[in-house]
Amino acid sequence: MRISLKLSRIKPSATLAMNAKAQELKAQGVSVISLAVGEPDFPTPAHVKAAAVAALDADFTRYTPVPGIPELRDAVGGYFGRFYGVTPPREAVIVSNGGKQALFNLFTSLLNPGEEVLIPAPYWVSYPDMTILAGGVPVPVPTDPEDDFLVSVEALDKACSPNSRVLVLNSPSNPTGCCYTREQLDAIMEWAVSRNIFVISDEIYDQLVYAPSEPASCVGWWQKHPENVAVVNGLAKSFAMTGWRIGYCVAHPDLIKAQSKIQGQSTSNVCSFAQKGAVAALTGSYDCVAEMRAAFKRRRDLAMEVVSTWEGVRCPNPGGAFYLFPDVSARYNAATPDSTTLCTRILEEAKVALVPGAAFGDDRCVRFSYAVDDNTLLAALEAVGKVLKS
């Protein structure tokens, strides 16, 4: 089979691949715990499901406008108004098939061949591959666990070139869970905007931030510099709606039109009745989100308590999301010299699926998703701890 050269440079999504591997083993009867994929274990809140069911019953099943139904675009504007005091107008909002499609749209809309994308590492697995698919060049900017894996202006300055076009920010971060403070974010935004570098701020975990950390959005920077900033978010993580595929982007209206062109030629609208569910989520009560946030915080604390007893393992205490990204390189040896071999060993011996840090651009680490119930989490950590000690 002849596949395009462009695709030969793209890797399959490691997070999805690892999850598929765990599911495959489960299907064979092997009792595997998957801490591989980043997916809330809670059901979608009842009022959100009810709104989608009502829309189906009312035959709301036809094409909708490509950038989303007007009430959902307005609800997205209202979301930012409610939490961050900035209400983007309808023409500055597009609804996409998950945050993933919004990101893909942005890279495709912004990049010319050879233009560079600064990606603080560790990074979410899909940023570099999306950059390559869009004809750009990913430039990872390394960070360290001692600095909570947060990138500094100095490191960005060093990595920047005349070809730098885009910087991707992701706070809270997947895979580290670490969050930038308002001040840190502002310093980076100032740096980028003054160099005319476009910032894509992926804020998909903004509802999952644990006190004393505080959510910090770039939507205020978008308001001040609409030609330099886009904010991406979605409902998958905050409302346990991964399968619904509801993401959105706030950007300059011209950039929204560009993204709409891509969607119009590829996927058309997001599922009609899913959009109605999304309106109910964004405009309804956030008590359900607060409950899930409290559960994730408790699990983070449980997991950190265990991981901090692992000798030689360094893991910053993450302020958000539902991942731990410990540096386990002190446990590497001749037989398990890297994160991939270690994760294979952990899967074989502990029957726990993790994602190797190499997939996120940091081979010293492995990623745990703690979006599972407390007992499963503790059992998985105990089993992994045994492998690491042996």
Q: Which residues lie near ligand GLU (CB under 6 A)?
A: 13, 15-16, 37-38, 124-126, 174
Name every residue whose Cβ is closer than 8 Å to that of residue 15 and which is 6 or more positions away in sequence: 36, 37, 38, 125, 355, 359
Closest separation between CB of residue 37 and ligand GLU, Å?
A: 4
Is the Cβ of residue 164 or residue 171 nearer to ligand GLU in the bound state?
Answer: 171
Is the Cβ of residue 37 or residue 66 nearer to ligand GLU in the bound state?
Answer: 37
As given in the structure block, the two tokens for residue 62 are 């036809």
Is the Cβ of residue 125 or residue 303 nearer to ligand GLU in the bound state?
Answer: 125
CA distance linking residue 256 with residue 179, whole number of Å = 27
Is the Cβ of residue 13 or residue 23 nearer to ligand GLU in the bound state?
Answer: 13
Residue carrying the six token digits 């999304």: 278
Specify the pairing of strand 355-356 against strand 366-369. antiparallel
CA dihedral 251, 293, 20, 277 (to 10 degrees): -60
Closest separation between CB of residue 174 and ligand GLU, Å?
A: 5
Give the end-to-end CA distance of the chain in Å, rounded to a whole number: 45
- For residue 234, give the 3-state DSSP assignment: strand
Closest separation between CB of residue 24 and ligand GLU, Å?
A: 16
Closest separation between CB of residue 236 and ligand GLU, Å?
A: 8
Give just the sign of the alpha carbon dihedral 276, 282, 286, 288: positive
Closest separation between CB of residue 126 and ligand GLU, Å?
A: 6
DSSP string, 361-374: T-TTBEEEE--S-H
Entry field: residues in the chain: 390
What DSSP element (H or E) covers 266? helix 253-266
* 173 phi/psi in degrees, rounded to 5: -90, 140
Is the Cβ of residue 37 or residue 218 nearer to ligand GLU in the bound state?
Answer: 37
Q: Give residue number: closest CB to ligand GLU.
A: 38
Closest separation between CB of residue 56 and ligand GLU, Å?
A: 26
Closest separation between CB of residue 18 and ligand GLU, Å?
A: 9
Is the Cβ of residue 38 or residue 128 nearer to ligand GLU in the bound state?
Answer: 38
> What's the per-residue H, E or C state across 253-300?
HHHHHHHHHHHHHHCCCCCHHHHHHHHHHHHCCCHHHHHHHHHHHHHH
- CA 94, distance to chain mean position in Å, is 18
CB 241 within 8 A of CB 281: yes
Is the Cβ of residue 124 or residue 370 nearer to ligand GLU in the bound state?
Answer: 124
Is the Cβ of residue 130 or residue 274 nearer to ligand GLU in the bound state?
Answer: 130
Closest separation between CB of residue 107 and ligand GLU, Å?
A: 15
For 106: left if phi > 0, alpha if psi spans -120 to 50, otherwise beta; the answer is alpha
Kindly report whether the peptide bond that precedes residue 175 is cis, defined as omega within 30 degrees of 0.
yes
Is the Cβ of residue 126 or residue 233 nearer to ligand GLU in the bound state?
Answer: 126
Closest separation between CB of residue 175 and ligand GLU, Å?
A: 7
